[in-house]
Amino acid sequence: MPDIQATLRAATASGVIPVVEVEAVADADALAEALLEAGLGVVEVTFRTHAAAEIIARIVQRHPAMLVGAGTVLSPADLSRAIDAGAQFALAPGLSRPMLDAAADAGFAYVPGAMTPSEIQAGLEVGISTFKFFPAMPAGGLSFLRSISAPFRLHDLRFIPTGGVSIANLADWLGEPAVAAVGGTWIASRDMIRDGDWAGIRRNAEEAVRLARQ
């Protein structure tokens, strides 16, 4: 069984996780190449398009240097599809008991969303300590994250803020010790992917990698 903590460390190592919505399987290669050329070896392919599982499988098979996560995984059925496609980890915007159970049964690296102390407690009860923090900026940004995580200081929580994260606030988030990495669609937006703006995606990814390294 894969080591969940090691997988999550690898997934967050770059400090930045591009969140993507890809409609066309044919775009998977160019997208993966643009990110890898920029030095970004991780991507969260969201189940917000019907092609998600196929995109994941294609990137996993053709771009072994890329660590592929499945995003917006809302049901155990989607989790199974993500695992079958070869995803190495999965995330969701929220937390639900069926998903926690399915991920635990599969021994799979799963990052649920937490936006309240109750969700953090529910995750802790089943051994989860890395959470997606969504929607990070509209919810109140860094000060909100500090407030809700303060009571849990003995639990070494790690967060992946997404939602309104951009190049403008990336450094602030990554300066916070509890932040493992940030995620966001700004690096490779739906429009950029649809328009085939691979050069723009590469530039955004390079900029994000450079700032994250600082």
Interface ranges with ligand 3PG (CB under 6 A): 19, 71, 93, 134, 162-165, 183-186
**What angle is formed at CA 163 by the lines to CA 110 and CA 101, rounded to 5 degrees?**
20
- Closest separation between CB of residue 154 and ligand 3PG, Å? 28
Nearer to ligand 3PG, 132 or 202 (CB): 132
Question: Looking at 33, 44, 54, 119, which residue is catalytic?
Answer: 44
- As a whole number of angstroms, the longest Cα–Cα distance in the chain is 47
Establish whether 125 is a catalytic residue.
no
- Distance of closest approach, residue 184 Cβ to ligand 3PG, in angstroms: 3
Alpha-carbon gap, residue 66 to 91, rounded angstroms: 17
Report the residue number, 69 or 123, with the smaller CB distance to ligand 3PG: 69
Nearer to ligand 3PG, 112 or 184 (CB): 184
Q: In the bound complex, what is the minimum distance in angstroms from residue 131's beta carbon to ligand 3PG?
A: 12
* 3-state secondary structure at position 45: strand
Measured over the CA atoms of residue 54, residue 57, residue 62 and residue 66, the dihedral's sign is positive
132, 176, 206, 207: the active-site residue: 132
Contact 129, 155 (CB under 8 A): yes
Retrieve residue 121's tokens.
């407690």
As measured in angstroms, the least distance from the Cβ of 23 to ligand 3PG is 16
Per the annotation, the verdict on 132 as an active-site residue is yes
Handedness of CA 142, 148, 152, 158 (dihedral sign): negative
| Cβ atoms of residues 196 and 30 within 8 Å | yes
3-class secondary structure, 182: strand
- Cβ-based nearer residue to ligand 3PG, 16 or 107: 16
Which residue numbers are catalytic? 44, 132
